[in-house]
Structure 1
Amino acid sequence: MPTIGVLALQGDVREHVRMLQESGATATAVRRPAELDAVDGLVIPGGESTTMWKLAETFDMLDPLRMRIKEGMPAYGSCAGMIMLADRIEDGADGQQTVGGIDMVVRRNAFGRQVDSFEADLDFAGERVHAVFIRAPWVESVGADVDVLGTAEPGDRIVAVRQGPLLATSFHPELTGDTRVHRYFVDMVDGSSR
């Protein structure tokens, strides 16, 4: 059973911990580099990407996160977490930094403001899932090594990707009660330790 951390600086931490536990993982909150060193994989939750970036800097987590991801630690980012895992962002705040790792360009708040939040059914890695989008980003473009796992309307926008041990979604599966996205990630973490 893998131990998967949830970056607990800001965002949907409790919800992701619960979904990971329901998906067969041991889940724990991660706020410090020593806690990051103790996990097999990491979820970077939804929240507000500029706040998350600033808190990661304040708590001296940005460089340790980059190092663990560079070393091959599996990570899953949902919504703001997708932005954090992007190599490049559009419409970012001045000086906004990411952890990086996925060769993609992500547009912040691409689907609109809070009042434009919506739910939709979509295909994710060959399964139909219900997705909740809240001030969600979308992926503008991906590099050759990135697999597109899901798209959404309008315009078949890319909303789920995977590159090696890294997974990202624009939507919030932790809010639906459906564990399939989390189980997919737990299986990724489980497979990386073999």
Structure 2
Amino acid sequence: MGVKVGVLALQGDVSEHIAAFRQALADRPGSMVIPVRHTEDLAGLDALAIPGGESTTISRLIEKNGLYEPLAEFEGGVFATCAGMVLAADRVDDPRVRTLNLISMHVTRNAFGRQVDSREVLLAVKGLSEPFRAVFIRAPVATEAGPGTEVLARIPEGIVAVRNGRHMAFAFHPELGGDLRLHRMFLEGLGV
């Protein structure tokens, strides 16, 4: 049976997410990955990726496009990366960002500092037998995981990967580098 995944396509690394999910779904006939820009694009989706980008900009564009309530009420799984992790949280350190309250966690934006402080880390992730090469680009961290939120990975700066039900959030960019293990773990957790 095919899986239908949407990628929030308002700002950020949308094409990288579309390509990664298409590759992860290559062995699932009838699957599709589509960009999501309007409320009607959410119809029939099993999952939604909220990509990295600039969280305050994406937050404003969500409001401008009338997507806040539909995204906050989305019943499928959510795969959130970097800025997406900020938006998926229920608490964030920046009042300019209206979070979607999808995952119980407190997130700090730009926890790594400036762009020059971005880096790659071989990261132990719960559920993966081998380390994952995580690319952190002006990344957030979760400083606290609330009830029902399972911590999958952490580094000295804080929590960088979580799961809450069908939702997963990452401070890094699993869509970069060609390693699709986290995409496959997410898809398996959808139950479709």
Following superposition, the deviation at residue 162 of structure 1 comes to: 0.5
Residue from 56, 67, 70 that aligns with 1:64: 70
- Counterparts of 2:21 and 2:4, CA distance in 1: 9
Q: Who is 1:10 aligned against?
A: 11
- Which amino acid in 1 is paired with 2:89? A
Residue from 80, 83, 101 that aligns with 1:77: 80
What is the DSSP-based 3-state SS (H/G/I as helix, E as strand, rest coil) of the residue aligned with 2:97?
coil
Q: Who is 1:186 aligned against?
A: 187
- Which amino acid in 1 is paired with 2:135? V
Cα 1:156–1:98 shift into 2, 3 Å = closer
Q: Do the aligned residues in 1 keep the contact of 2:121 with 2:135 (CA within 8 Å)?
A: yes
- CA deviations on 1:99-132 (whole Å, 9 max, x unpaired) are 1111100000011111100000001223210000
Does residue 140 (structure 1) correspond to residue 140 (structure 2)? The answer is no
Q: Who is 1:119 aligned against?
A: 120
What is the DSSP-based 3-state SS (H/G/I as helix, E as strand, rest coil) of the residue aligned with 2:162?
strand
Following superposition, the deviation at residue 27 of structure 1 comes to: 0.8
- Which amino acid in 2 is paired with 1:179? L
Q: Do the aligned residues in 2 keep the contact of 1:20 with 1:186 (CA within 8 Å)?
A: no
- Counterparts of 1:40 and 1:89, CA distance in 2: 26
What is the DSSP-based 3-state SS (H/G/I as helix, E as strand, rest coil) of the residue aligned with 1:149?
strand
- Counterparts of 2:157 and 2:127, CA distance in 1: 16
Structure 2 unaligned segments of length 5 or more: list them: 26-30
Q: What is the aligned-residue identity percentage? A: 44
Q: Do the aligned residues in 2 keep the contact of 1:62 with 1:99 (CA within 8 Å)?
A: yes
Cα 1:172–1:108 shift into 2, 3 Å = same
Q: Do the aligned residues in 2 keep the contact of 1:75 with 1:166 (CA within 8 Å)?
A: yes
Q: Who is 1:158 aligned against?
A: 159
Does residue 108 (structure 1) correspond to residue 133 (structure 2)? The answer is no
Q: Do the aligned residues in 1 keep the contact of 2:56 with 2:96 (CA within 8 Å)?
A: no
Following superposition, the deviation at residue 156 of structure 1 comes to: 5.9
- Greater helix share, 1 or 2? 1
Q: Who is 2:23 aligned against?
A: 22
- Which amino acid in 2 is paired with 1:109? N
Q: Who is 1:177 aligned against?
A: 178
- Counterparts of 1:129 and 1:13, CA distance in 2: 21
Once the two structures are overlaid, the 10-residue window that deviates more, 51-60 or 177-186, is 177-186
After TM superposition, what 4+ stretches of structure 1 lie above 2 angstroms from structure 2?
A: none
What is the DSSP-based 3-state SS (H/G/I as helix, E as strand, rest coil) of the residue aligned with 1:65?
helix
Q: RMSD across aligned C-alpha pairs, in angstroms?
A: 1.2
Following superposition, the deviation at residue 144 of structure 1 comes to: 2.7
- Which amino acid in 2 is paired with 1:98? T
- Counterparts of 1:124 and 1:37, CA distance in 2: 32
- CA deviations on 1:112-166 (whole Å, 9 max, x unpaired) are 11110000000122321000000000010011311000112xx262100011111
Tell me how many residue pairs correspond in the alignment: 184
- Which amino acid in 1 is paired with 2:91? R
What is the DSSP-based 3-state SS (H/G/I as helix, E as strand, rest coil) of the residue aligned with 1:173?
coil
Does residue 46 (structure 1) correspond to residue 52 (structure 2)? The answer is yes
TM-score by length of 2: 0.92
